[in-house]
Amino acid sequence: MLEYGTIKNYVGGQWLASQSDENLEIHNPASAAVIAQVPLSTDEEANQAVTVAKETFQEWRETPPLVRARYMFRLKALMEEHFEDLAQIIVKEHGKIIDEARGEVRRAIENVEAAAGIPSLMMGYNAEDIAVGIDEECVVQPAGVFCCIAPFNFPSMVPFWFLPYAVACGNTYIVKPSELCPLSQNRLFELLDEVDFPAGVVNLVNGDRRAVDTLLTHPDMVGVSFVGSTPVGKHIYATAAAHGKRAQCQAGAKNCLVVMSDTMLDRTVPNILTSAFGTAGQRCLAGALVLAVGEVYEPLKAQLVEAASRIKVGDGLDETVQMGPVVSRRSLERIVGYIEKGLEQGAELILDGRGIQVESCPDGYFIGPTIFDKVSAEMVIAREEIFGPVLGIIPVADLDEAISIIHDLPYGNAASIFTASGKSARQFKYQVDCGNIGVNIGIAAPIATFPFSGMKDSFFGDLHGQGRDAISFFTERKVIISRWF
């Protein structure tokens, strides 16, 4: 018996067993045990979800925003009630530690809270007498059916960067979770079912790239919110454009942490460790490269290695553990491959997490904190997203050199500076071409009322997830010019 069985789709207010004969196994990364099966839904099942969502749209858009907001209040209450359960599921399917999972659920709830402001967020504006006796108004209206294509690394939160806003705006919605970690959305949809939205407002379709392409190209699909890797993000963006859909595609990253010599090292080191090794480095905001400016390089390096080697690795459900496994055996092998590449290209491995043994979990997908010194900006480990607990250190002469390394990278998701100098901080936030900037903050994660930004190969589109951007993405603006005879 699998702990979570074979999960179902949720379409039109019903839980439906997929007719697909293709299923994937879901593993608990700490134990490698199979805990569930996820179906790879058929084209018919994906199409059916869009049809149902389209049929419900008219009724839902006519529901007053104030009433739609009340669904958000009910959803928030249920998420609070089942908070710990939601966090534990994340740990079991993803591997991150329980405290990080709690933080993720909290962020998901915050988006529901923000979307509950929809009666004022969706207000339009007007002007009298744009010409004699003529008035003009701009009304904000929902647009139809939208979908989310989600990554594995925040299986609970990421779809909630979009779904609450989409639905609060009066659209109907489909989530296609990651096929690696579909259980959190499954549980959240049980709560959405309890909220009792009109059938078809929120829908869940499990599957892989086939379901994605079917959803994305359906004539009734208005737009897609994608979060995942850069190559897939480019594909989604191009496919969406070719089919006349709106798209916001948040993609991969290679984030730099710049450390100036005037920083308070004892405050900086823990921040860097959390950034690089939290969620075993599987965060799009993870610090991947430390750019050590001037004389801070030697003491910083020594302190990082000393502190990182003390990080306790193990099953994320153990409250004393500080870093869990990576999500899959495949990820583990990919990360080890990058470490070998780093060695081949001449970087110096000063902390090696390979082959770590966790006694209580002998089969888990574990790799310990890993640090490379003497990384140069041209190396593969400096340019590509490793998405694991591997940190590279690059010594640089000054802030200008650090910024030029950041700008040479293809990505523009996040970058942080650690400094006591307001002048350096200002130069950094003014010049750096990244969407999320941290000043003495290792993980610059925007809260629900701000856009989750990103630039260059880290984002394709113009309107981001969360905040005011979300309201614009999920609505049409209609202008009405009136004269009464």
Catalytically annotated residues: 284
For residues 411 to 440, the per-residue mask of contacts with ligand NAD, x marking binding by CB under 6 A and - elsewhere, is --x---------------------------
Q: Cβ of residue 238: shortest distance to ligand NAD, in angstroms?
A: 11
In the set 27, 54, 235, 301, which binds ligand NAD (CB under 6 A)?
235
Interatomic CA distance for residues 208 and 290, integer angstroms:
35
In the set 38, 215, 251, 393, which binds ligand NAD (CB under 6 A)?
251
Interatomic CA distance for residues 230 and 379, integer angstroms:
19
Strands 125-131 and 134-142: antiparallel
389 binds ligand NAD (CB under 6 A): no
Question: Which residue, judged by CB position, is nearest to ligand NAD in the bound state?
Answer: 228
Q: Is 105 exposed, middle or buried (0-12, 13-18, 19+ CB in 10 A)?
A: buried
CA distances to 132, 291, 312 from 302, in Å: 74, 15, 19
388: left (phi over 0), alpha (psi -120 to 50) or beta: beta
Q: Please tell me what DSSP assigns to residue 198.
A: P
232 binds ligand NAD (CB under 6 A): yes
Q: Cβ of residue 411: shortest distance to ligand NAD, in angstroms?
A: 9
**In terms of CB distance, is 227 or 402 closer to ligand NAD?**
227
332 binds ligand NAD (CB under 6 A): no
**In terms of CB distance, is 41 or 178 closer to ligand NAD?**
178
Contact 83, 163 (CB under 8 A): no
User: Which residue's entry shows tokens 């419900």?
Assistant: 56
**In terms of CB distance, is 69 or 382 closer to ligand NAD?**
382
Contact 40, 48 (CB under 8 A): no
What residues from 182 to 221 belong to the interface with ligand NAD (CB under 6 A)?
208-209, 212-213
Task: Count CB atoms within 10 A of the CB of residue 422.
Answer: 9
9 binds ligand NAD (CB under 6 A): no
Interatomic CA distance for residues 166 and 164, integer angstroms:
6
Q: Cβ of residue 287: shortest distance to ligand NAD, in angstroms?
A: 13
**In terms of CB distance, is 276 or 293 closer to ligand NAD?**
276
What residues from 150 to 189 belong to the interface with ligand NAD (CB under 6 A)?
150-154, 158, 176, 178-179
Q: Cβ of residue 235: shortest distance to ligand NAD, in angstroms?
A: 5
Interatomic CA distance for residues 110 and 137, integer angstroms:
32
Q: Cβ of residue 252: shortest distance to ligand NAD, in angstroms?
A: 3
Contact 381, 338 (CB under 8 A): yes
In the set 111, 250, 263, 268, which binds ligand NAD (CB under 6 A)?
250
Contact 252, 284 (CB under 8 A): yes
Q: Please tell me what DSSP assigns to residue 278.
A: G
CA distances to 57, 126, 141 from 149, in Å: 20, 36, 23
54 binds ligand NAD (CB under 6 A): no
**In terms of CB distance, is 6 or 328 closer to ligand NAD?**
328
111 binds ligand NAD (CB under 6 A): no
Contact 214, 51 (CB under 8 A): no
Q: Cβ of residue 131: shortest distance to ligand NAD, in angstroms?
A: 45
Q: Cβ of residue 54: shortest distance to ligand NAD, in angstroms?
A: 22
Interatomic CA distance for residues 144 and 150, integer angstroms:
20
In the set 39, 159, 228, 314, which binds ligand NAD (CB under 6 A)?
228
Q: Cβ of residue 212: shortest distance to ligand NAD, in angstroms?
A: 4
In the set 149, 259, 272, 405, which binds ligand NAD (CB under 6 A)?
149
Question: Is residue 348 helix, strand or coil?
Answer: strand
Q: Provide the residue count of the chain.
A: 485
Interatomic CA distance for residues 321 and 96, integer angstroms:
10
Binding range to ligand NAD, per CB under 6 A, among 70-78, 128-136, 144-152, 466-474: 144-152
Contacts of 156 (CB under 8 A, 6+ apart): 86, 89, 90, 101, 104, 105, 108, 184, 185, 188
460 binds ligand NAD (CB under 6 A): no
What residues from 253 to 292 belong to the interface with ligand NAD (CB under 6 A)?
253, 284
Count of residues in contact with ligand NAD, rule CB under 6 A: 30
**In terms of CB distance, is 154 or 197 closer to ligand NAD?**
154
Residues that bind ligand NAD (CB under 6 A): 149-154, 158, 176, 178-179, 208-209, 212-213, 227-229, 232, 235, 250-253, 284, 385, 387, 413, 452, 454, 458
